[in-house]
Amino acid sequence: MTKSKIVIRTQYKLSLNNPDRLKTFKDKDQKYVDGIIDYFSDDSKRALNLIDYFTGKINKHEDINLIMENGKYATPEEKEKRKKYISKQFNNSNLWQVVLSIPKDLVDKNISWEDMDEQVSKKIIPEALKRMGFKDLKNMTYGMSRHMNTNNPHYHIYFMEKKPNTLRQNKTLGYRRKGKIPRKVINYIKNETVLTIQRQSKFKTMSMDINKDIDEFKKYFDPKTRNFVLYDKENVILEDKILRLGKLLDERDISYNSRIKFNSIKDDEIKQLTRDIKEDLFKKNKNLIYTKDDFNKRIDNMNNYLTSVAKNNGLKKSDIDLSYINNKEKYLDNYILNAIVNHSRYHYRKNKKLVIDSNDIVQAIILNNYRKNKNYSKKNIVTNSLTSKTYMNKTKIRNAVRNINDEMEKASEEFSKLFDYGKERSDSL
């Protein structure tokens, strides 16, 4: 991957009432702020102009005064109104500016400028403001324009607080005193700009592969599929743990009549038993192991890609944004744990009388031995396996095993109808 050569410059003007500002530059700074809108809307530089999101509805395209293909600007009346507002608000709020310079050929090969405009205005800027620590985006005013009059097209971005929007140490909101934009915010803008440009190619393809692996994982925890790993009548130990977990959830009234969210559980015993079940599954089920290996490889490839993007932008390893990877791993882990607790509670409620004890385990052993060698009668198997005090006749053993198997299968079918795990989407992250 070649270097992206994306350049970011920042500057700020402390508000007139900011305790940290130098009073000697008051008139000069006020004049500078008054000219911001005129500079942004310079007709000789223009390609696009975004007069700030005055209503705060940043996710509604129709609420954004975004001028794109036709090159139209805000009306003279709107421009004058904006100039007056910024000039007045400069008494209380700092004015921050960002210049984001992007090589023209980098964009032209991957994404349209119009799509890039929308991504910068609706995604990159809002997220950068969140990372800077502003409490509520509705209380921010900001704008941008794209200038195409140089060899390197660039965005001019400005933002201010409409009202106190920075959380202080005493937990109250105030206007932000600091002027300098944090390095982590600048790194985010640079990194996300590259990913936005390249999402249509490598990033998008890799992301789709990860989502396919997640969907494959989910099949193993969908009771409608034959690969459902939480029902295995041959695995008596797993069945015992699932029923014990279901009993704990039922007795301690965890989300009694609604679907359980694992992360909402506070009981350490329940959480540990759930994780033990998950760990056992990934140790013994070969299909799960292979699928997990594929998923890990995809994650490693994405990690290497994001690392290379960061390095090509001159960022340190500590500056790499791995939130995408972390969110995918967290989503998958939560999905599996949620499936385990919900299946366990439902299965227990349908099979309360069938909680497995030592006799159930013995019965399972007898059944397995009988299947291996039908020349031995069940009576002989029981005689060899049990003392006379715990002797059970063939009919009782046969009926007990049949009851366990039949009722487990019935419960699994009903559980499948109640919980449809397939509706959850991994690509919504």
| Domain hosting residue 248, numbered range | 203-428
Look at residue 387 in the predicted model and tell me its pLDDT. 46
With a cut of 70, say whether residue 427 has pLDDT above it. no
Average confidence (pLDDT) over 403-427? 49
Q: Are 152 and 264 members of one domain?
A: no
Q: Are 164 and 77 members of one domain?
A: yes
Tens of pLDDT along 193-244? 888 887 666 777 888 889 989 998 899 998 888 888 888 777 788 888 999 9
Residue 417 Ramachandran class (φ > 0 left, ψ -120 to 50 alpha, else beta): alpha
Q: Are 72 and 175 members of one domain?
A: yes
Q: Are 12 and 60 members of one domain?
A: yes
Provide DSSP, 211-278. Answer: HHHHHHHHHTT-TTSTT-TT--TT-HHHHHHHHHHHHHHHHTTSSTTS---GGG---HHHHHHHHHHH
Tens of pLDDT along 21-51? 877 678 888 888 877 766 655 555 544 444 4
Q: Is the pTM of this model over 0.75?
A: no
Percent of the chain scored above 90 by pLDDT? 22
Percent of the chain scored above 70 by pLDDT? 67
Residue 192 lies in a domain: no
Average confidence (pLDDT) over 398-420? 51
State which of 149, 181, 213 marks the end of a domain.
181
Quote the CA–CA distance of 415 and 360 in Å, as a whole number: 23
Instruction: Decide: 232 and 268 in contact? Cβ < 8 Å.
Output: no
Quote the CA–CA distance of 355 and 223 in Å, as a whole number: 20
Q: Are 275 and 409 members of one domain?
A: yes
Look at residue 96 in the predicted model and tell me its pLDDT. 94
With a cut of 60, say whether residue 258 has pLDDT above it. yes
Residues 6+ apart with CB under 8 A from 313: 3, 4, 6, 187, 190, 191, 194
Q: Are 271 and 383 members of one domain?
A: yes
Look at residue 53 in the predicted model and tell me its pLDDT. 37
> How many residues in total does the chain contain?
429
Q: Are 250 and 114 members of one domain?
A: no
Q: Are 49 and 177 members of one domain?
A: yes
Pairing between strand 154-161 and 65-67?
unpaired
Q: What are phi and psi of 107, to 5 degrees?
A: -75, -45
Tally of domains in the chain: 2
Q: Are 169 and 315 members of one domain?
A: no
Q: Are 165 and 307 members of one domain?
A: no
Tens of pLDDT along 325-358? 888 899 999 999 999 999 999 888 887 755 555 5
